[in-house]
Structure 1
């Protein structure tokens, strides 16, 4: 029997985020990419996701922004979740510095347009061992280019105001795993470790020599983790 796993991407990511992982999964595991719905706020996005997912419980994966949305969905519809995997995300509110940076970025994009994500920004998301991996760099750039300026403005605008969902996850009654790169500068592993002590259903797996773009940097290990978490 095929095990279906629904996957929410991060900011300016599409189905290519999961492609390398899929190549390392057995045939009985199907990753189903779900694009982030275009709605006015996070709550409306979560409601729209419910309409896209099948009836009954699902296996849900979220990467980065998708991880936050997956957490929001799980908290609003806990009866709809079998297992939840959060990759490169800690379901936390954005720090003040990030809020200010987003505001400046949105204003700049509206005034000056968008020339695409700079290579320097891409490499900053990667572990130092992957910063010259042009397959990864080009994949990130191509996803960004194809999604374009309007998608970036939308995603930055609608998903900036976030509450801290991390502290709410221990009340959920299904397995939750965080899969994090040891050199992910956007995630604070110590906060996840503290939350994991509050529930036996929450676990943390850390991949060494890995930055934020975990499914692209470590597709084989990511696939192995998916298999173990959802199947074994």
Structure 2
């Protein structure tokens, strides 16, 4: 079995991949909570022991996956970007994140709120109390510092649209049809710059695709074995 490397999103930990790591057991989940520069995040991926691997990133992790595949193509057999476009930080999300930084500085940031979860999740997924509890739990007691680290590292992320066409390895992009954070249109536009990209838009799904629709994500990953 090939080795899978999973990159979590903002304020997530290894549990965002719990349904994937249960099936694809030869894996590494890279901790992206402690670095405050993108370079340090890329170094954390570079430190994975496997010489070559399938790289799977969610949200912020999807951007890091694309950056890593561009920087170290010899290490990556396939790149799978989930709920992440190639167009840099979405404008509306950037504004929300800048406000969050002010909350952090004032000591008012307590992690992902239920109100925010309504924006992240499809209405059907939001009804799942266990899922909501998991996302709240992933934020952790150190949510403010983790979020600050991740914003410092990725808030000014590059627009990679014109570069992803140079990727030689298979590129798969997966998005939620009802994602209010990263629009399905921005996922579909990846095809404009990488004509070989394989695009999947998942119905009745918000932003947290690996947790909301694990059977769909696992089905796509299974095809790579």
TM over 0.5: yes
Judged with a 3 Å threshold, the aligned counterparts in structure 2 of structure 1 residues 115 and 187 are, in CA distance, closer, same or farther, namely: closer
Does the 8 Å contact 1:64/1:87 carry over to 2? yes
For the pair 1:41 / 2:37, whether they are aligned, the reply is: yes
Shift of 1:150: 1.0
Unaligned regions of 5+ residues in structure 2, if any? Answer: none
Is the Cα contact below 8 Å between 1:9 and 1:36 reproduced in 2? yes
Whether the aligned pair in 1 keeps the contact of 2:82 and 2:209 (CA below 8 Å) is yes
Q: How does 1:3-14 map to 2 (within 5 A)?
A: 3-14=2-13
Identify if the C-alpha distance between structure 1 residues 84 and 187 changes in structure 2 by more than 3 Å, giving closer, same or farther.
same
Question: Secondary structure at the residue paired with 2:63?
Answer: helix
Q: 1:11 to 1:172 in 2, by over 3 A?
A: same
Residues 190, 113 of structure 1: CA spacing in aligned structure 2 closer, same or farther, 3 A cutoff?
Answer: closer
Q: Tell me if structure 2 keeps the 8 A contact 1:123–1:137.
A: no
Q: Residue 167 of structure 1 aligns to a residue in which SS?
A: coil
C-alpha distance 115-195 of structure 1, shift in aligned 2 (>3 A): closer
Tell me, in whole angstroms, the C-alpha distance in 1 between the residues paired with 2:92 and 2:203.
27
1:128-207 mapped onto 2 (5 Å cutoff): 128-207=123-202
Residue in structure 1 matched with residue 209 of structure 2 by the alignment: 214
Report the TM-score when normalising by structure 2: 0.91
Cα distance change of structure 1 residues 201 and 105 upon mapping to structure 2, 3 Å threshold: same
Q: Are the structure 2 counterparts of residues 80 and 71 from structure 1 closer, same or farther at C-alpha, using a change threshold of 3 Å? A: same
1:32 aligns with 2:31: no
Check the 8 A contact 2:93/2:181 in 1, yes or no: no
Residue 35 of structure 1 deviates from its aligned partner by 0.8
The equivalent residue for 2:75 is 80
Asked if 2 retains the 8 angstrom alpha-carbon contact of 1:22 and 1:223, the reply is no
TM-score by length of 1: 0.88
Aligned to 1:16: 15
Given candidates 91, 107, 113, the residue that maps to 1:112 is 107
Residue 167 of structure 1 and its aligned partner are, at CA, apart by: 2.6
Q: Secondary structure at the match of 2:163?
A: helix
